Amino acid sequence: MSVATDSLLARTTDSRPTGTIAVIGGGIVGVCCALYLQQSGYAVTLIDPAKPGDSTGKWSCGQLAVGEVVPLSKPGILKKIPGWLMDQEGPLALRPLSFPRMLPWMMRFLSCARQSRLVEIAHDLASLTGRVFDDYGPLLNGCSDKALLSQRPVMQVFDTAGGLEQDLHHAELPRSLGFAFEKLGAADIADLEPALAGKFKHGILLSDWRFVSDTQGFIVALTESFTARGGRRLLAGASRINEDNGRATGVELSNGESVAADYVVVAAGVGSRKFFTHLGVNIPLEGVAGYQVLLTDPGIALRHSVIYADGGFCLAPMTRGLQVGGTIEFAQRDAAPNFERATIILNKTKRIFPELRTQEQQLGVGYRPLLPDTKPVIDRTRKLKNVVLATGHGQLGLTLAATTGRLVTDLISGSKPPVDLAPFGAYRF
């Protein structure tokens, strides 16, 4: 069957597509893909071994970081690698034992630090992040809780004027792409966030950014919206993609059962790797650990999500408590979490807020699926043209989930995507 014919599979007389789709991965990207596909007329089965909300997105800072388009591989990053190896208390760490295996990946990562490449990646990411709120709108309208997304912007604070100026330099590229920010002084910071009064004199208001009131509840609410409309969510792992005559025919589950499907979407974050060999793709996907601490009775109240730039972490006020985190770590695959890193950021937070209550706490870690160029993969596979990959979102999974769902639906239905998907191809590596 040709791609053109394949994209018109089982359309009804009113041109709404029909058919069955299995989505592997029930995290934020998977559920948004499922919702958009469902709204387009498909019968969707969502497959994940964890309960709704118990995913990487739960242990994130909860920000819709629409202006976060400059990749991690900023100029000068090569000089920082020895520090990552030596200082395990820094905001970004590299476990020494992982360095030999990570070296090929790191070389690709560093190749993106050239200014021309940096600008190219920023433009590519901006083509996605500029759509975020429009694409989330139809999904959030279907949720009963209308306060899932805070309407307040995100703040960023700095210890020194030098730190602020350095960040403003990096912010020029996002600003040139249409993402706004405002420079803040001590009085501005105190007015916007009384809890920070007298603590910081230098800051930025990221005017375009927003944050969710509860990362776990956000994913749960979207999942409930999906199931309320007839979607099926299976609490099981996906062990393999079944195929016949060059087409995927469904998904075999870890319990031995099978789910038949006309299309398969792989949106399992780091877990997507297990399917790459079968699908004939060579995608350098790594899981980068992000550590978080949830304080259910912190004793302080914040109005905004606050990024503490010099500390390398974020303070995210959520309905279930204050979540503190953001520190990231490169480690060998299958390495046990190092929750000492969560303790490190908690101690840094107590230096800002000595009154912080830490008795009631939960530690968490989420493994962000990161690619060397910081861009996700949103693409069909060549081996099985009815399989679509939606993975590699790095630290932008929550931000780009709805837009990814919209684009995956366009790929499957045969509609023309509103953005050029070539920069997010599975074969660009």
The answer to whether residues 221 and 348 belong to one domain is no
CATH of the domain at 43: 3.50.50.60
Using alpha carbons only, what angle is made at residue 229 by residues 227 and 235, rounded to the nearest 5 degrees? Answer: 15
Whole-number percent of the chain with pLDDT over 90: 75
pLDDT exceeds cutoff 90 at 43: yes
The answer to whether residues 172 and 321 belong to one domain is yes
Summarised one tens digit per residue, pLDDT across range 371-384 is 999 999 999 999 99
Average pLDDT of span 173-180: 95
Whole-number percent of the chain with pLDDT over 70: 92
pLDDT of residue 16: 67
pLDDT of residue 15: 61
The answer to whether residues 265 and 174 belong to one domain is no
The answer to whether residues 277 and 237 belong to one domain is yes
Closest by CA to 283, choosing from 384, 406, 370, 155, is: 370
- Rounded Cα gap, residues 326 and 344, in angstroms: 11
- Cβ distance 192 to 1 under 8 Å? no
CB count, 10 Å around CB of 95? 17
The answer to whether residues 260 and 395 belong to one domain is yes
pLDDT exceeds cutoff 70 at 78: no
Highest mean pLDDT among 107-121, 158-172, 377-391: 377-391
Of 370, 386, 407, the residue that ends a domain is 370
Using alpha carbons only, what angle is made at residue 281 by residues 275 and 283, rounded to the nearest 5 degrees? Answer: 90
- Rounded Cα gap, residues 75 and 192, in angstroms: 32
pLDDT of residue 87: 63
**Would 229 be classed as within a structural domain?**
yes
User: pTM above 0.85?
Assistant: yes
Of 370, 389, 413, the residue that ends a domain is 370
Query: Is residue 179 helix, strand or coil?
Result: coil
**Would 126 be classed as within a structural domain?**
no
pLDDT exceeds cutoff 50 at 31: yes
Please give the mean pLDDT across all residues of the chain.
Answer: 91
**Would 329 be classed as within a structural domain?**
yes
The answer to whether residues 270 and 365 belong to one domain is no
Q: What's phi and psi for 353, nearest 5 deg?
A: -125, 85
Cβ neighbours of residue 228 closer than 8 Å, sequence gap 6 or more: none
pLDDT of residue 13: 38
pLDDT of residue 336: 87
Span of 73-77, 194-198, 206-210, 366-370 with lowest mean pLDDT: 73-77
Using CA atoms, how far residue 328 sits from 79, 126, 284, 301, in Å, is 18, 23, 18, 25
CATH of the domain at 184: 3.30.9.10
Of 353, 370, 387, the residue that ends a domain is 370
The answer to whether residues 304 and 363 belong to one domain is yes
**Would 319 be classed as within a structural domain?**
yes
The answer to whether residues 294 and 390 belong to one domain is no
pLDDT exceeds cutoff 50 at 303: yes
pLDDT band at 7 (very low <50, low <70, confident <90, very high): very low
Summarised one tens digit per residue, pLDDT across range 215-254 is 999 999 999 999 999 999 999 999 999 999 999 999 999 9
The answer to whether residues 259 and 206 belong to one domain is no
**Would 118 be classed as within a structural domain?**
no
Look up residue 274 and give its two tokens: 């297990």
Summarised one tens digit per residue, pLDDT across range 46-64 is 999 999 999 999 999 999 9
Range of the structural domain that residue 17 is part of: 3-56+217-283+374-424
pLDDT of residue 95: 82
How many separate domains does the chain show? Answer: 2
